Amino acid sequence: MRVAVVYTGEPRTFDNCVDNHKQFLEGCNVHSYHSTWTKDNTERNNELMNLAPGTQAKNFVDYSAPDRPDLWRFEKLLLSNKKNHPIFMFGRIQYMTSKGFEPIYDRMDDYDLVIKLRYDFEYEGRLLDYVPQSNLHGKLFITKKMGGRSHPRNVWDGFAFGTPYMMSWYFDCHRLVPFSLFHQEIANWKYSPEYVLGYYLQHTGAEVIDSGVQPVHQFPDNIEEHRRRRTTQYYVDLLNSHPEFWGQIENDCPSTPHETLIARLKEKGFEVQ
């Protein structure tokens, strides 16, 4: 089976996961496509991307997304309306993700399957054991949720596969994001990436099927420190992009109380209280 793997995100721990990925993809003829941010260590990320099987193309996307002012307009609207720690960067993340798929548009006939993987997760078993033998037309295979409570519509954005045509719709979610708050069902729900992605895929007309794959996160440090780093980065992004909302957006991470958050932000040069 000819498989195009689209890797997106931050490759910093990929060297810990790449052997598992090669086992997961065993039996497939694999090409890989990559997309990450320019704000990280580009030289190191370039080396990590080369560890993947059959690397074909790499995209390095400016985190500020200067060519997408519509996403910045959306972020300000979202932050004005939702104070419960909304993932305002979701549009940028989906835009960066789409860049990983972009080179495949000219090679759709070269592949039987496109699969989206994350650099920092391991996957149990083998991909071919999850791929149905019957017709894949009109179907997207995804992971519904990653532990904890979850709305039944939620779709986690770290694993999916389908035909190249169906996956082209999957990677177009960034086009919905600027308009997503005009959809009443999204506006009435806490703005979470999983809910928005699930809503979008439902409205593409795809038959969305739980693949049964439950990926395992490989943390660069312990899980509590990972949560603290992630929460701190959220507020770094907020202060860099939309500082007028500082003090308005709630911190919902028990691992990072306000005093800890302030101390970490001050270490990064922000004068906050």
Residue 7 β-bridge partners: 34, 117
Residue 204 and residue 248 share a domain: no
Q: Quote the percentage of the chain above a pLDDT of 90.
A: 73
**For residues 79 and 263, what is the distance between their CA atoms, to the nearest angstrom?**
24
Domain span at residue 206 reads: 2-70+88-217
Q: What does DSSP assign to residue 55?
A: E
Q: What pLDDT is recorded for position 38?
A: 87
The CA-atom distances, in angstroms, between 48 and each of 19, 118, 158, 201 are 12, 13, 18, 31
pLDDT tens track for 222-263: 788 888 988 999 999 999 999 999 989 888 888 889 999 999
Residue 232 and residue 101 share a domain: no
Residue 231 and residue 139 share a domain: no
The CA-atom distances, in angstroms, between 80 and each of 70, 91, 189, 237 are 16, 16, 15, 16
Residue 190 and residue 60 share a domain: yes
Residue 240 and residue 206 share a domain: no
Residue 125 and residue 9 share a domain: yes
pLDDT tens track for 67-124: 999 999 999 999 999 888 889 999 999 999 999 999 999 999 999 999 999 999 999 9
Token digits of residue 61? 């996307």
Q: How many structural domains comprise the chain?
A: 2
190 — pLDDT class (breaks 50, 70, 90): confident
**For residues 195 and 197, what is the distance between their CA atoms, to the nearest angstrom?**
5
The answer to the question of residue 272 being in a domain is no
Q: What pLDDT is recorded for position 254?
A: 85
Instruction: Name which of 53-57, 147-151, 200-204, 228-232 the model is least confident about.
Output: 147-151
Nearest Cα residue to 103 out of 36, 54, 35, 48:
35
Residue 141 and residue 107 share a domain: yes
**For residues 258 and 256, what is the distance between their CA atoms, to the nearest angstrom?**
6
Residue 145 and residue 179 share a domain: yes
Residue 166 and residue 35 share a domain: yes
Backbone torsions φ then ψ of 205, nearest 5 degrees = 90, 0
| Amino acid (1-letter code) at residue 202 | Q
Residue 250 and residue 123 share a domain: no
pTM of this prediction? 0.92
The answer to the question of residue 75 being in a domain is no
Q: What pLDDT is recorded for position 273?
A: 81
Q: Is 153 or 58 the better-scoring residue by pLDDT?
A: 58
pLDDT tens track for 116-153: 999 999 999 999 999 998 789 999 999 986 655 678 88
Distance between the two ends of the chain, CA-based, in angstroms?
Answer: 56
Residue 158 and residue 38 share a domain: yes
